[in-house]
Chains A and B, each alone.
Chain A
Amino acid sequence: MGASKPGVETPGYSHMSLRDRGSTARCAPKLICALLLLCLLAICRTAFCADPLVLPPVIYHFGLGQEPPILVSMSGLNGEAAQVLQFDLYVQGFAFTNAEAAQFQIIGSNNGNLEARVVQRINKSELLGNRVYSGPFRRQVHHFADDFVNAVPGHAKGIAQTRIMFKGQTGGASEIYIADFDGHDSQQITRDGSIVAAPCWVPHRPAAYYTSYKLNHADIFYHDFSTGSRRVFAHYGGSNMSPAVSPDGSRVAMILSKDGWTDLYVSNADGSNLRRLTKSPQDESSPCWSPDGQLICYASKEGERRSLSVISPSGGTPRRLKTSTAYNPTEPDWSPDGKYIAFTSQSGGNFRIRVIPAEGGDAQDIAEGEDPSWAPNSRTLICARRAGGRGNYVLSLLDVMTKQVKDVSRISGTSSDSQPSWAK
Chain B
Amino acid sequence: MKPIQLSKLLVLALTLTVAATGCKKTPVKVTDMNGPRAGYNEAGNETISNLPPTEPIKIGPESGANALPNKEGIPSVGPDRFKNYIPHPEILKAYSVYFDYDSSVIKSGEKPKINAVAEYLKAHPGEAVRIEGNCDERGTEEYNRALGERRALASREALVEQGADALMIETISYGKDRPVAPGHDESAWRLNRRSDFVVLTPPAAP
Residues of A within 8 A of B (CB): 32-33, 36-37, 40-41, 44-45, 48-50, 172, 174, 195, 197-198, 211, 213, 217-219, 235-239, 241-242, 255, 257-262, 278-286, 290-292, 294-295, 299, 302-305, 310-312, 316-320, 322-325, 330-331, 337-339, 344, 346, 349, 351, 358-360, 370-371, 389-391, 418-419
A283 in contact with B146 given A45-B17, A331-B140 (CB within 8 Å)? yes
Contacts of A41 in B (CB 8 A): 13, 16-17, 21
Name the distance in Å between B189's Cβ and chain A's nearest Cβ: 10
Contact (Cβ within 8 A) A370 B153:
no
Cβ–Cβ contact A241 & B149, under 8 A: yes
Q: Tell me if B93 is interfacial: C-beta within 8 Å of chain A.
A: no
- B204 contacts the other chain (CB 8 A): no
**Distance of A261 Cα from B63 Cα, bound (Å):** 19
B124 interfacial by beta-carbon distance below 8 Å: no
Determine if B63 and A282 form an interchain contact, defined as CB atoms under 8 angstroms apart. no
B42 A305 Cβ-Cβ under 8 A: yes
Residues of B within 8 A of A322 (CB): 40, 44
Query: Which single residue of chain B is at the shortest CB-CB distance from A257?
Result: B149
Tell whether, in the assembled complex, residue B37 and residue A317 are in contact, meaning their CB atoms are under 8 Å apart: yes
Q: Are A292 and B30 in contact (CB under 8 A)?
A: yes
A217 near B79: Cβ-Cβ < 8 Å: yes
Q: Other than the known A44-B13, A258-B76, what 12 A-B pairs have Cβ atoms closer than 8 Å?
A: A195-B174, A197-B142, A197-B177, A242-B142, A299-B143, A303-B59, A304-B66, A317-B51, A319-B51, A331-B140, A338-B29, A371-B140
Chain B residues contacting A390 (CB-CB under 8 Å) are: 137, 184
Residue of A at shortest CB range from B34? A316
Contact: A337 with B28, CB < 8 Å? yes
Top 7 closest pairs, chain A to chain B, by CB: A260-B73, A237-B76, A338-B28, A324-B44, A49-B23, A40-B13, A238-B76
- Any A CB within 8 A of the CB of B96: no
Q: Does B55 count as interface, using CB distance less than 8 angstroms? A: yes
Q: Which residues of A contact B30 (CB under 8 A)?
A: 290, 292, 294-295
Q: Is A346's CB under 8 angstroms from B146's CB?
A: no
17 contacts between A and B (CB under 8 A): A33-B1, A36-B9, A49-B24, A211-B145, A237-B170, A238-B171, A255-B146, A259-B73, A260-B76, A262-B153, A283-B146, A320-B40, A331-B143, A346-B138, A370-B141, A390-B137, A391-B179
- Interface flags for B12-48 (1: CB within 8 Å of A; 0: not) read 1110110001111000111101000101101010000
CA gap between A36 and B145 in the complex, in Å? 50
Contact with A along B53-94 (1 / 0, CB 8 A): 111110100011010111011111111110000000000000
Q: Are B22 and A49 in contact (CB under 8 A)?
A: yes
B173 at the interface (CB under 8 A from A): yes
Please tell me if the beta carbons of B75 and A419 are within 8 angstroms of each other in the complex: no
- Cβ B141 vs Cβ A198 within 8 A: yes
B172 interface hit (Cβ, 8 Å): yes
Give Cα A284 to B146, complex, Å.
7
Whole-angstrom CA separation of A290 from B32 in the bound complex: 13
Query: What string of 1s and 0s marks CB contacts (under 8 Å) between B96-120 and chain A?
Result: 0000000000000000000000000
CB distance B141 to A241 under 8 Å? no
B202 at the interface (CB under 8 A from A): no
* B interface residue numbers (CB < 8 A to A): 1, 6, 9-10, 12-14, 16-17, 21-24, 28-31, 33, 37, 39-40, 42, 44, 51-57, 59, 63-64, 66, 68-70, 72-81, 137-143, 145-150, 152-153, 170-179, 182, 184
Contact B145 A285 (CB under 8 A): yes
A304 to chain B, nearest CB (A): 6
User: B31–A237 contact, CB under 8 A?
Assistant: no
Contact at A320–B39, with CB atoms within 8 Å? yes
Q: How far is the CB of B39 from chain A (nearest CB, A)?
A: 6
Determine whether the beta carbon of B153 is less than 8 Å from that of A261.
yes
Q: Given A236-B76, A237-B78, A322-B44, verify A279-B55 contact (CB < 8 Å).
A: yes
In the complex, A175 Cα to B55 Cα: how many Å?
Answer: 37
Tell me the smallest distance from the CB of A99 to a CB of chain B, in Å: 28
- In the assembled complex, which residues on chain B have CB atoms less than 8 Å from the CB atom of A197? 141-142, 145, 175, 177
CB-defined contacts of B54 to chain A, threshold 8 Å: 278-280, 311, 317-318
Which chain B residue shows the least CB distance to A317? Answer: B53
**CB contact between A40 and one of B9, B44, B57, B139 (< 8 Å): that residue:** B9
**Cα–Cα distance between A259 and B79 once the two chains are bound (Å):** 12
What is the bound-complex CA distance between A342 and B66, given in angstroms? 28
Chain A proximity of B33: nearest CB distance (Å): 5
